[in-house]
Amino acid sequence: MKIRKKTNPVLTDLIDKLILKSREEGVQIWRDVAKRLNRPTRQKVAVNISKLNRYVRENELVIVPGKVLGSGTIEHPITVSSFGFSELAYDKITNAKGRCLTIEEFMGENPKGSGVKIIQ
């Protein structure tokens, strides 16, 4: 069996930072997000705006350990943190007065990870 490593240096650096932050802060959420990002490519998460609109209430904090896609509409402001956003998803979230953050920016703003939902 061949062991494969991630080849995206940005992703591997983010995974290392998440594990380090989990140890520093003593919280499990960052380690959980790191494990989800470390999955094989075929199991990567892609979440549409319509799913966020359905399962996330107004002004909630959400992490998507993958990419946010622009299918659907969003009717209320939310704060979304993700590894990547499509252009359409980014525009729809910001037009609804929401915020789009990278996972690193989100870790800086909320180091304890309190009040955060993980959507996949």
Whole-number Å distance between alpha carbons of 29 and 31: 5
User: Which pTM value belongs to this model?
Assistant: 0.87
Q: If pLDDT is split at 50, 70 and 90, which confidence band does 49 have?
A: very high
The values of phi and psi at residue 3, to 5°, are: -90, 125
Per CATH, which fold does 9-118 belong to? Ribosomal Protein L15; Chain: K; domain 2 (3.100.10)
Any idea where the domains of the chain sit in the sequence? 9-118
Whole-number Å distance between alpha carbons of 28 and 90: 28
How many C-alpha atoms does 68 have within 13 Å on its Cβ side? 32
Q: Work out the average pLDDT over 64-77.
A: 94
